[in-house]
Structure 1
Amino acid sequence: MTPAQPAHGSSSPGGSGGGSRWSDLERPPLDEGALRRALVRPGSLWTSLDVVAATGSTNSDLSARAAELPEGAVLVAEEQTAGRGRLDRSWSAPARSGLFFSVLLRPDVPVERLAWLPLLTGVAAATALARAAGADTALKWPNDLLVTVGGEERKTGGILAERAGDGGAVVIGLGLNVSLRAEELPVHTAGSLALADAISTDRDPLLRAVLRSLEEWYGQWTAANGDPAASGLQEAYAAGCATLGRSVRAELPGERTLVGEAIALDGEGRLVVATEGGGQEAVSAGDIVHVRTGTGG
C-alpha cells in the first residue's frame, strides 16, 4: 500500500478535522444500510458488513476478532489512521477519499496455495474497477493496483493478506485511492481513479462491485481446491499483470538485489525472473521495481 503518509489538516477538504460527516460534499459517506442490503444475503459469502468513521487499521481490527467472527465479515473504514501495507509501510489518506476495507476468509484449500489470495484479490479488484469505474487497472506483482495518469503508471491501490489466529483464518485488506486530488498525493508515484479519468468515483457502487467480484473469484478458486490453473486465476492474473515481460529489479530479503526480466508466474504465485546470465529465479517476496517506466515502480 501507499508507502508514505500525506499530511492532514483541519482546513483540508477531505481531512478529518471538519467535524461534520458532510464537510466535503464531493466525498459523501458510504451508505452502510444499502451496502448491507445489497451484499449480505442468504447464500452470499458476505455475512456481515460494518462501516466505521475511522480506525487505525481494518486488518488489525478484524484480526483481533477473527476467533469470534464467521467467514465473510467485512469491515470498512471511512478513514484509516494507521493503515498498513506490506513491509509495515503506512497507508493513510483523507477521510472518504478512497475505499479502505478488510474481509475475513477461511479458505479450505492446501496451505501452500494461500499465497494466491492477494493475487486473487488483485484480479477481482481490477476486474470490478474496469466494469464499474471504466478504469484500465493493471496489476503489479505481488499486491499493487496501477492506473495510468498523464501517461505514467501510478499506484492507486494495495493489498495486504495476513493469517489471523490458529483457525485457518486469513484477513485481506484493500486500500484504493478513489477521489484523491493531485495536491493530496502522498508520493509522486501515487494515483487515484479520479486522476485516471475514471467514469465513476461513487464509492458505494465501486465497493459493491469489488466485493461481488471477490466473491465470484474466491468461489471459483475454492471450488477448484485453490488450484490457480483450474480456477482460471493464474491465467487471469498473467493477462492483467503489468510486471510480466518487463525488466525488473527485485529488492530481496537479506539486502540482495536481482535484476532481470519477469517472464512468468509459477504455480505457487511466485514471479519468475530470467537473469542476464541465462538462469531463472522464482521470487516469493520482495520489492519489485519496473525498471523501464522511470517512475520508481
Structure 2
Amino acid sequence: MEKVLELLADGGFHSGEELGSVSGISRAAIWKKLKMLEELGLQIDSVKGRGYRLHPGVELLDSERILKALEPAVREAVIVHTCLKTTSTNDLVREIPVASPLIKGVCLAEYQTSGRGRRGRSWDNPFGSTISMSTRWFYSAGMASLEGLSLAVGLGVLKALERCGGSHLKLKWPNDVLWRSPDGFQKLSGILLEVHGDPTGDCEVIIGIGVNIALSQEQINGINQPAVDMQRVCGNAVSRNQVVGELINELCRTLDIFSQQGFGHFKEQWEHYDAFAGQDVVLDASGKTVSGVASGVNSHGGLLLKTDEGMVTFNGGEVSLKAATLGKSRCGKSK
C-alpha cells in the first residue's frame, strides 16, 4: 500500500496497470489497496481511460527530507522514524532503539488509530493532513523538576510555526497553540506530556505534538472546538516536512535549555504570547470551577489567577473564557 500511496501522492492520474507494475501486485489487489486508502479517509478519484488519482494529492512524511532540514548538531542527536499507520506515536516512540540517553527518538505517523490528547481525550489526525509527532527524552533530575516543561514546549512549537510562516499565534495555558482570527481564537496545535520514572532521579519524558497542516472544511467542521490549520494561517500551502524539521530543531533547543535553567528561562517569553493575559477566565480544576483574572504564570509554570480572595496559583486544570466575553474571543477545550 505504501508504494501505491507514494505514486498517487503527486495528485496525478495513474493507471491500474502502472500501479500494479510499480507495486508488483495484480490489478485486483490494487483495487483492494485503493479501498484501504479510502478507509483511511483519503479521496480516490477514478476516471475511465485515465486511471486513479489521490485528490488533492498529499505530501508524505519523508525522514530523509526531515533530516536535511535539521541543524547539524540536532541531526546528530536524534533518530527519526516515520510510518503510515500506528495506534499512537506516543507508544511507538518508546520502541525506537537509542544508543545513548543523550539521543532523542522522534516518531511520526501519517495516521493514528488511538491518538491521545490531554485529560483522556482523543486526538484526531486525518491521514496526511496533520503532523502527529512524539519525542522520547531522558531526564536525570527527576520528575519534580519538570514543572513548566509543557509550557516551554508549547512556546517552542509556537516559535517553530512562526518560522514556517505562522503569525498572530498565541499560547493557552498550559500547552495549546492558538491562532487569533477575526472571529476569535482557533486551535492550531496541542501538546501532551507523559512522564515515567523516579520523582528524584532518572525519568523518561514522552512529548506528543499535534499540528493541523491542511484540513478540508469538512474536517474542520468535524472538530469539537474552533480549529484552524497552517495553510489557512499562512494563506498558502505549507510543507509538512519543513514544519517537522523546524519542530525538531526548536524542541531540541528547548529541552537543552530547560535541562539547565528550568522554566524560569522561558517565563517572560511565554507571558508575551499569553492569549488570555488580563482577561476574565474560568478555571476547571478537577471539577471545581474558579473565576478570576488571568495574571500570567510563576517561575514554575503555575497559572496565576487574581480572584476575590487574592492571587491564587494553579498547577493543573482547564482554562476557558467567561461567557460574558465569548463575543470578543472564544476558545474550546484543550486536547
Partner of 2:122: 90
Q: Give secondary structure in 2 for the equivalent of 1:134.
A: coil
| Counterpart mapping for 1:1-297 below 5 A | 15-16=41-42, 18=44, 23-39=54-70, 44=75, 46-63=77-94, 70=101, 71-109=103-141, 111-165=143-197, 167-185=202-220, 186-224=223-261, 226=262, 228-229=263-264, 231=265, 233-253=266-286, 255-275=287-307, 277-291=308-322, 292-294=325-327, 295-297=330-332
Q: Deviation at 1:47?
A: 2.2
Q: Is the 8 A contact 1:137 1:145 kept in 2?
A: yes
Cα pair distance change 1:38/1:215, threshold 3 Å:
same
Partner of 2:11: none
Q: Deviation at 1:188?
A: 4.3
Q: Deviation at 1:79?
A: 1.2
Cα pair distance change 1:46/1:239, threshold 3 Å:
same
Q: Is the 8 A contact 1:63 1:165 kept in 2?
A: no
Deviations 1:116-142 (A, max 9, x none): 221111111111111212332211000
Higher helix share: 2
Q: Give secondary structure in 1 for the equivalent of 2:284.
A: strand
Q: Give secondary structure in 2 for the equivalent of 1:260.
A: strand
Amino acid in structure 2 at the alignment position of 1:163: V
Q: Is the 8 A contact 2:185 2:331 kept in 1?
A: no
Q: Deviation at 1:72?
A: 0.6
Deviations 1:166-193 (A, max 9, x none): 5411000000111112221212412212
Aligned-residue identity in percent:
26
Instruction: Count residues with an aligned counterpart.
Output: 281
Q: Is the 8 A contact 2:43 2:55 kept in 1?
A: no
Q: Is the 8 A contact 2:106 2:136 kept in 1?
A: yes
Whole-Å separation in 2 of the counterparts to 1:150 and 1:12: 35
Whole-Å separation in 2 of the counterparts to 1:164 and 1:110: 10
Whole-Å separation in 2 of the counterparts to 1:288 and 1:45: 39
Q: Is the 8 A contact 2:305 2:312 kept in 1?
A: yes
Q: Over alpha carbons, which structure has the higher Rg?
A: 2
